[in-house]
Amino acid sequence: MSEQREITVQLIHEIGVQIGRKDTAKLQDLIDDLHVADIAEILEELSTTDAQFLYQFIAEEKSAEILVELDDDLREDLLADLTAKEIAEEVIDNLETDDAADVIGELSEEKQEEVLSLIEDKDHANDISDLLTYPEDTAGGLMAKELIKVNENWNTLQCLREMRKQAEHVKQVHTIYVVDNDDVLLGSMSLSGLLLTETNTPIKEIIKTEIISVKATEDDKDVANIMNKYDLIVLPVVDDMNRLIGRITIDDVMDVAKEEAEKDYQLASGISEDVESSDTIWELTRARLPWLLIGLLGGLLGAIVIDKFNIFEINYQLAFFIPLIAAMGGNVGVQSAAIVVQGLANDSLKMDNISQKLLKELGVGLLNGIICSLIILAAAFALGYGDLSLAVSISLLAVIVFAALFGTFVPLTLKKYKIDPALATGPFITTVNDVLGLFIYFLIGQAIL
């Protein structure tokens, strides 16, 4: 892996040198045999100007696929250099409908209409136009129109003839779908089963009716969970009347999973918007500042709690353990929230067993709290803190139990109200736990001391 990366760095350097020299023949030699994903990676490492210069020397059959692999910003810059006619002929004609819709969807409405009108294959244009009507985060926004379907009333010989025609527009045949005269999805069949069956056998006799499908309006995260649960590499998409309208492949779902993981990681890190390292200082600041302000507010509330209890009149040594109480409460809360968020994301945790989950976290919190409080009791007593050690240990137990329940309850509540539960694994949990943990600590400390 390291050798491959070293070669890539050397290659990027060499390409940069040749771009500076405007040696087009040498550039052509350097990129001709590269995979589209490697060329996309190289383009993203170059400046926008150099990337635009290099892109014009990429073979047409590769250039369209490379655009799909690029980050949104660079793709937008490269498309801006192309006319509507060039986009239609050099890009869209070489892409399947789902990828073509993604590319066209980034253009202005005026340019979208112009590009669609210039596509020679009107069926292809109509399919793309249809896909553009679906929201990006739905099954309809993920699906492609290219697929192989046969009628239940055909025999195997007729199926083979029709499949040859359809296969011209399909890069890879994953499965064969069987429909009725109204295009209603009935099931599927394998290519091997078709080839091994007598030529005059009706398809309805070899159909597999156990088939999983999704509606075009299904959320893309639910689509990813379904494909993961049933180990599917392709999933048919139907309309409200169960008519077959498209199919989703595993590569599309992998993109969804990657985007969701990046989004959840950013939320957990206290970043409220989707950002890239290449974004401007203002864009990065705007994404990070809201949660920093919430953390600042939490700190002020913590100071108010400390002032309200006037701990120096109770026992100034209580202040020694403030960092410990705050850190333990925050960590436990984030742990509990992370487990719940993961369960909600992969659909292994259902919203109808909230009480069961809370009871389980109560047990976990109690066990962890007892172990940690006994350790701190022994450590504080050994250090000579006397009665304070009992107050700290009891407070720690109470804070850990509360944080475990709070960290479980918050993401479940957010999910119920259609808010991304990943929000609960970030600064929200730690800030609230810090404030309430200190309140519990001082309340117990005051009662005991």
> What CATH number should be reported for the domain holding residue 313?
1.10.357.20
8 Å CB contact between 435 and 303: no
For residue 424, what is the DSSP state? G
Strands (E), 145-263: 148-151, 176-179, 185-189, 214-215, 234-238, 244-249
The whole-angstrom separation of Cα 311 and Cα 322 is: 11
Asked if residue 42 belongs to a domain, the reply is yes
Phi, psi (5° rounding) for residue 49? -65, -45
Same structural domain, 218 and 106: no
End-to-end CA distance of the chain: 60
Asked if residue 391 belongs to a domain, the reply is yes
Closest CA to 357 of 399, 407, 396: 407
DSSP code per residue over 368-397: HHHHHHHHHHHHHHHTT-THHHHHHHHHHH
Closest CA to 337 of 357, 363, 367: 357
The whole-angstrom separation of Cα 203 and Cα 366 is: 61
Same structural domain, 241 and 322: no
Amino acid identity of 341?
Answer: V
Residues recorded for the chain: 449
Asked if residue 276 belongs to a domain, the reply is no
Asked if residue 437 belongs to a domain, the reply is yes
Same structural domain, 54 and 90: yes
Tell which of 197, 232, 249 closes a domain. 249
Give the CATH number, domain containing residue 89: 1.25.60.10
Label the pairing between strands 234-238 and 214-215: parallel
Same structural domain, 156 and 224: yes
8 Å CB contact between 337 and 343: no
Amino acid identity of 113?
Answer: E
Asked if residue 341 belongs to a domain, the reply is yes
Same structural domain, 216 and 335: no
Q: What angle do CA 310, 315, 318 make, to 5 degrees?
A: 85
Give the CATH number, domain containing residue 234: 3.10.580.10
pTM of the model: 0.70
Sign of the torsion angle spanned by Cα atoms 98, 99, 102, 107: negative
Asked if residue 441 belongs to a domain, the reply is yes
8 Å CB contact between 49 and 81: no
For residue 286, what is the DSSP state? H
Same structural domain, 84 and 213: no
Name the residue range of residue 228's domain.
Answer: 148-249
8 Å CB contact between 41 and 8: yes
- 79's enclosing H/E stretch is helix 72-80
* 420-449 residue pLDDT tens: 777 666 677 778 888 888 888 888 888 886
Closest CA to 73 of 289, 277, 252: 277
**The tokens 């009992």 sit on which residue?**
390
Same structural domain, 107 and 203: no
Phi, psi (5° rounding) for residue 34? -85, 150
The whole-angstrom separation of Cα 377 and Cα 389 is: 5
The whole-angstrom separation of Cα 313 and Cα 103 is: 67
Count CB atoms within 10 A of the CB of residue 449: 14
Written as tens digits, the pLDDT of the chain (449 aa) is 444 445 577 888 888 888 888 888 888 888 888 888 889 989 988 888 999 999 988 887 788 999 998 988 889 889 988 899 999 998 999 899 999 999 999 899 999 999 999 999 999 999 999 999 999 889 999 999 999 999 999 988 888 888 888 887 787 787 899 999 999 999 998 887 787 887 788 888 888 999 999 999 999 988 988 998 899 999 999 999 999 999 999 988 888 887 777 776 666 665 556 656 566 777 777 777 777 777 788 778 878 887 787 766 667 778 888 888 888 888 888 888 888 887 777 766 766 667 787 788 889 889 999 999 999 999 988 888 777 888 889 999 999 999 888 888 888 888 888 777 776 666 777 788 888 888 888 888 888 86
Asked if residue 292 belongs to a domain, the reply is yes
8 Å CB contact between 246 and 215: no
Same structural domain, 208 and 338: no
**The tokens 């918007």 sit on which residue?**
273
Same structural domain, 112 and 161: no
8 Å CB contact between 223 and 140: no
The structural domain count of the chain equals 3
| Contact residues for 182 (Cβ-Cβ < 8 A; gap 6+) | 241, 243
Tell which of 118, 137, 156 closes a domain. 137
Same structural domain, 11 and 133: yes
Same structural domain, 110 and 49: yes
- The first and second tokens of residue 127, run together, are 């399919």
Count CB atoms within 10 A of the CB of residue 241: 9
Tell which of 67, 102, 137 closes a domain. 137
- In sequence order, what are the beta bridge partners of 246? 237
Same structural domain, 169 and 130: no
Closest CA to 324 of 408, 407, 393, 370: 393
Asked if residue 259 belongs to a domain, the reply is no
